[in-house]
A and B are shown apart, each in its own frame.
Chain A
């Protein structure tokens, strides 16, 4: 009987194609907005996370904004390390942009001047070559670690160890190769003192990467550092800035998930509106088919089979609408991925399931009342109905 009821509901739906499609459209649009909006939001979250992850392991990026005429020196760093047990290590760095050249190939590369502990603190791993060591920094050697993008641009190869490049006209030897952070980033790493030697930056302890003993939680390290630096700079907590990437990341993810819930909520409303459309059409259909209901009951249809018939009709419409909506969402997200080249948008299995589940829910909830109305029609009155 169930099989027969399914057949009958498909027949009823296909016998009034235009109306069924328009009813379905409400569900199609509802499912589409739900899936597309939520997928776009989660795609954005994903790409934020990706770019954050590509920055390597977490560190506290600390910048001195105003040294109150009393700049930091190496002994300050030693003091911090002593005063803040939660801090594992501190790596000062300098940054600048230099013209890096090999033959006729050149590129503006962002250069970071670092000390030997940089690689440990930032968790940077070389693909090839060696790290900068203390002696390189002490002597201000003309050596450089470049990233893959720069290597490919200058040498058309990543086999570059031992090659010479010109950095702002100075002759440097390539000693190492690192991964590129993104497709369009060009970076180089040179010793801290070399940076000042070639005049790329003045020698100053203004920027630091700070690593925490506890690798999962930087809060304590940040607290201790804040306290120490506030005291160091005449109790002005505006004199420096400490950035914790994970905190930013968490904040961003929170905003994104709030957005996802908001968008999902709005989309759900359109699904509910679609459901009301189904209910409306089913009520019309029940009225139109009063005679049919009467005939069926007269020849022995029990109430539950009438109920089932109309329920299934609502369910088939909403499920079909759900699937069509899902397919269209997939197409739209593919197009969005092509248009926004830096992000990929995919439908997660869970949102697809939620969308289909929601369609079923809408079909059942909004199909129930009309179906119940149909089933409860008194046989004799339904039979007497003119159409």
Chain B
């Protein structure tokens, strides 16, 4: 489903060239649960931004569902993000002026879906993450764990093929983190493809496959060893 062929991402800051991704080749199949692990500054977020079509590669090719991403315009990329990808961020990235259910419904509004249909889908998503009872609350009235559930519901609501999570438990305590991880397992069992970015070994261990990244270079971790 996901194919990265010799991908590099290069930043040029004040004359200094930083290779955030350095010749990365990667393949992820549908239904996989992959953890990407590496220290701070190793290029994890850069990788996720490229996988999530938020950013484009400088060198190489990114192919999502057989489509070469570089060829698309801003709005076409927006459409791909909207339909195929669900984002879960470390800092949740919810809109604080909106209630939980409004936040979750937003991707569907951009699809131009009817209000009645949006309502059904939002309820379904909020129930799946167990936060339906707090649907009228704004993010500021919710705990971190609750906010992350709302964010996961928003990622699920458009029934994407790929869930991308960038340190989803980074701002949560260990108990809440465990709950969120349980939720990810459940979603993976239901057939969702999940790419989880983390610098926490304990979290990474729970994935079925681990990829280690260091200085922009990727390496498969052999779990059988």
Contact = CB atoms under 8 A, between A and B. Distances in A.
Interface in B57-80: 74-75, 78-79
B54 A380 contact: yes
A57 to B, nearest CB: 67
A366 B37 CA distance: 48
Contacts of A70: none
A300 interface: yes
B93 A305 contact: no
Interface residues of A, number: 22
A301 interface: yes
B33 interface: no
Contact of A299 (B49, B55, B75, B87): B87
Contacts of B123: none
B110 A1 contact: yes
A292 B82 CA distance: 16
Contacts of A301: 78, 82, 110
Contacts of A1: 109-110, 112
Majority SS at the chain A contact face: helix
A298 interface: yes
A302 B109 contact: no
A341 B145 CA distance: 70
Contact of B74 (A295, A298, A303): A303
B97 interface: yes
B111 interface: yes
A226 to B, nearest CB: 76
Interface string A284-297: 00000001101111
A302 B95 contact: no
Contact of B79 (A298, A302, A379, A383): A302
Interface of A: 1, 4, 11-12, 15, 291-292, 294-305, 379-380, 383
14 contacts: A11-B97, A15-B97, A292-B95, A297-B78, A298-B52, A298-B87, A299-B87, A300-B81, A301-B110, A302-B110, A303-B74, A303-B75, A305-B110, A380-B54
